Chains A and B, each alone.
Chain A
């Protein structure tokens, strides 16, 4: 199943956790949730991909759309718990130039606070 498993607010950071294949559908679901929270004034987002160890370029390109949304609002997007091939994909595509990546959710929240 490819889905968002949890959305929670950790002070001013919205943490979105997923499971399964980060493809077009899951990417769009993340974008919809993020836009809803941007509408409420949140500008810091952490995507926890611990249970999504496979990605395609369409899902990743939708994350570029989210980077663009947040750039307009001086916001931040970060990822945590990436499988090596997911991190490599994000690096090749250049996402890691615009987003931080962290080994764990705890490390990410500590850095983003």
Chain B
């Protein structure tokens, strides 16, 4: 492979904020997952976490132009950064949803994205201020992968 000598090869995408454009990112994630020989299960988890991170960036960032996605291939993990230049948010103030609470109220049933990302990835961190947000998601490689 041509990238054998690269340290932590990185793939960078720039996505316009257009409905369903997150699927472009999932196609790249599929290629990267296959390259890393990750399991189908992990590949599916990465796909969904990435969809949710992109949707959050599209919908909640107030970004006016595009978002950026970096796939960083490390020896022991895949690190994905989803970056927007929106208004930022306080991840500590995001309530953890439950279906019981959603069914018991007239409120919108949405608001699951961050919970899903946390459940599906091995680690997630948020850096956010008034200039934008970077969500960093890590999926570890198993020893046999």
A residues engaging B (CB < 8 A)?
Answer: 21, 23, 54-58, 60-62, 64-65, 67-68, 71, 83-85, 88-89, 92-95, 97-98
- CB-nearest residue of chain A to B98: A94
Q: Is B17 an interface residue (CB 8 A)?
A: no
Partner of B55, one of A57, A83, A84, A97: A57
A23 to B14, CA, bound (A): 22
Is B103 a contact partner of A68 (Cβ separation < 8 A)?
yes
CB contacts (< 8 Å) of A58 on chain B: these are: 55, 110
User: Closest CB of chain A to B50's CB: distance in Å?
Assistant: 10
**Contact present for A21 and B99 (CB under 8 Å):** no
Interface size on B, residues (CB 8 A): 29
A57–B52 contact, CB under 8 A?
yes
Secondary structure dominating the interface of B = helix
Complex interface: chain B residues within 8 A of A84 (CB):
40-41, 44
Instruction: Provide a sorted-by-A list of 10 A–B residue pairs whose CB atoms are within 8 angstroms.
Output: A21-B23, A54-B47, A56-B48, A64-B109, A65-B109, A85-B48, A88-B45, A88-B120, A92-B115, A98-B103
A64 interface neighbour in B23, B51, B52, B103, Cβ under 8 Å: B103
Give the contacting residue for A23; candidates B20, B44, B97; CB below 8 A. B20
